[in-house]
Amino acid sequence: MAKVRMGMVGGGEGAFIGAIHRMAAALDGEIELVCGAFSSTAQRSLRSGQSLHLSAERCYGDYVSMFREEAFLPADQRMQFVSIVTPNHLHLPVALAAITAGFHVLSDKPATLNLAEVVQLREALASSDCLYGLTHTYAGYPMVKEARSRIAAGQLGTVRRVAVQYPQGWLATALEQDQNKQAAWRLDPAKAGVSSCMGDIGVHAAHLLEYITQLRISALCADLGSVVEGRCLDDDGAILLRMENGARGVLLASQVALGEENALSIAIYGDTASLTWSQQEPNTLVIQYSDRPSEILRAGASYLDPHTLQFSRTPPGHPEGYIEAFANLYAAFAEQVRGAAENRSAADWAMDCPGIEDAVRGMAFIETAVAASNSDAKWHDFPDL
């Protein structure tokens, strides 16, 4: 089978996440980067594209030109989907332009700048034949999928308590004042939206919680703030949660937890067992009981769920991590694109990639958390969208 052809918007010189996306897309040999509009200036876009061994004519000065020119190419040459790796404020216009031109979309998170925009995006997708995926990376880890399958099978019994935390320390000082590009746009409301910490990492924690438990957040109580002086967006926060089944929870996220790297972790407590998983030890899932020893489950082992094993590439004891988890989302989305091109039933596609409904809930979480933090009311219902 021919490779699925990908274009990219953003991810050029000085970018971080674009290179991660490209590595993930290339890992399984199923996707080929064929074009891109990598920067806000044509010259930087050309340099970026040629450094990736693309021909000059497929390195576009802007995404509008890219979609227009790619649409004119023969069907077996033009890109099939676009990967959006820009700051948040560009996610919607790029996605809408791609959908209008007939291209599928795989976007970095959060999906848009605000909740109204993501609803607009959902409406555009509903009136098109285009696919949409969202790179909530941590859903791609095999042991996260194992945790999800164990809970779905009832191994934990009724979920009573949930706890997820995501501390980072990289913004513990005012990097945005030192011309740090990654810090500057994340703390700029015009580019990031209403939140930095919850919009950048808190939304990952919320998605992971709902993905593993398959329970929705029904209400929350939030306390967000900026620790570093001079910031107008939050860099730290704590949120109390109520889940739809009555379980209570807590979500902690911080970009100013000095010394922390990327310490996302989650614990789910049921009435018969509990489980814990940490992104910094991603190949291990621990299940705990009150009446027998804990189980330490390891990635790649034959006793795991067959679905989990589909997302591992190496035998047990050979570490897989962030790039591989990212690649699992790309592989799933590429299979969706193939399925659509071949007119296969959606039931036959590898659908395990977050989509537009995850995108809507993510933006609803961000805006509800910010509104709750700014309010004197204690509990705020999660909007039903």
- Residue-wise pLDDT for 221-254, tens only, equals 999 999 999 999 999 999 999 999 999 999 999 9
pLDDT of residue 1: 74
* Percent of the chain clearing pLDDT 70 (strictly above): 98
The fold for domain 4-138+327-351 equals Rossmann fold (3.40.50)
pLDDT at 350 > cutoff 60:
no
Cα–Cα distance measured from residue 29 to residue 330, given in angstroms and rounded to the nearest whole number: 11
> Domain 141-314+362-380 in CATH: superfamily?
Dihydrodipicolinate Reductase; domain 2 (3.30.360.10)
Work out the mean pLDDT of the chain and round it to a whole number. 96
Cα–Cα distance measured from residue 307 to residue 287, given in angstroms and rounded to the nearest whole number: 19
pLDDT of residue 345: 65
178-195 residues labelled b (16+ CB within 10 A) or e (exposed): eebebbbbbbbeeebbbb
Q: Please, which contacts does 303-310 make with residues 24 or more away whose CB atoms are closer than 8 Å?
A: 304/142, 304/146, 305/145, 305/146, 305/149, 305/150, 307/145, 307/149, 307/352, 308/142, 308/143, 308/145, 308/146, 308/149, 309/142, 310/350
Residue ranges per domain, the chain? 4-138+327-351, 141-314+362-380
Confidence of residue 351 (pLDDT cuts 50, 70, 90): low
* Percent of the chain clearing pLDDT 90 (strictly above): 94
pLDDT of residue 346: 61
Structure tokens at 152: 């779905």
Tokens 């930095």 locate to 196
The phi-psi region of residue 53 (left if phi > 0; otherwise alpha if psi is between -120 and 50; otherwise beta) is left
Mean pLDDT lowest among 3-7, 149-153, 177-181: 177-181
